[in-house]
Structure formats: C-alpha cells, structure tokens
Amino acid sequence: MKVSEAMTTEVETISPQDTVEYAAARMREHDIGILPVTEEGRAVGVVTDRDIALRCTAEGRDAGSTPVLDIMTTAVIQCRETQDLAEASRLMEEKKIRRLVVTDDTGTVTGLLSVDDLAARLDDASVFSRVLREVSLSPPRASARRP
C-alpha cells in the first residue's frame, strides 16, 4: 500500500509570518494538533500544539504578536505520497514521531500521515503496535527550532 492510500489529504497549512494566535485558532477550528508551515507550497517547518505551549505560552510570549516562525519546529520529517506505507511507518518509528508531512514529487505538501492513519489502514496490527510502541516509549527526538 502506498502512503497516498492512507494519508489525510485535507491538510491545513500556515505561513511562517502568521501569528501563533492565528495558528492556535486554526487548530481549534479544525480540531487538529499540527500545522505544516509552508512557503510556496513547500514545508519549511511544522507548528504543533506542544510548540505553542512550550515555546510561546511557557516562555511568556504574546501569541498575538509572535510569528509562527519564532516557535516552529524546523526539522520537517517528510515522506513522498508514492512511498510504500511500510517504509513510512519505519521512518516514523526511527524518528520517534507520530506524524509525517507528505509531499508530491515536486516537494509540495499534499497531506499528513499519522499513527491514526496507520491504525485505520494497516492490515497487520503488529506493525502498527510496533510503531506506536517505539514512538510512545522511546525518548522524544530533539526538535530543531530557529535560533
């Protein structure tokens, strides 16, 4: 099975210049916890609800004036929509992440692949269980952020 057959295609994105407050409002509106940060359709980062909590709120920043650029995670782990789903699941396991940004062959963001997508689509429950265990129990990966 290919990533394109399992990924979520209705992906909301945000600009690096948008405010954290706007990002949080979009997350609330769409009931999501991650927004790919894009420029000209290509991912330059991601911002998660955790980024907002730890890099904005906990640091006492003003969400209404802080740009997403200042708090986003810049290390974007991505896969291609044409990749095999098993290969993408191994990448999630290796990088200890619950979501992958999915791109087409030109690098344009076309979707997201999450552990929830794996659970819904994988025939082999042991693969999903292994990925979830590795992502959940292993130490979190260090996230890159802008200086």
Give yes or no for residue 51 having a pLDDT over 70: yes
CA 41 to chain centroid, in Å, comes to 15
Residue 142 counted as domain residue = no
Residue 144 counted as domain residue = no
Residue 67, token pair as written in the block: 């740009």
- pLDDT band for position 145 (50/70/90)? low
Distance, CA of 26 to CA of 82 (rounded, Å):
28
Give the contacts of 136 (CB within 8 A, at least 6 positions apart). none
Q: What is the pTM of this model?
A: 0.83
Give yes or no for residue 147 having a pLDDT over 80: no
Q: Is 129 or 116 the better-scoring residue by pLDDT?
A: 116
CATH classification at residue 88: 3.10.580.10
Residue 135, token pair as written in the block: 């992502």
Residue 116 counted as domain residue = yes
Q: Residue 110 is which amino acid? A: T
Residue 147 counted as domain residue = no
Domain of residue 58, residue span? 3-137
Average pLDDT, the chain: 88
Residue 10 counted as domain residue = yes
- Say how many domains are in the chain: 1
Within a 13 Å sphere around the CA of 141, how many CA atoms are in the beta-carbon half? 19
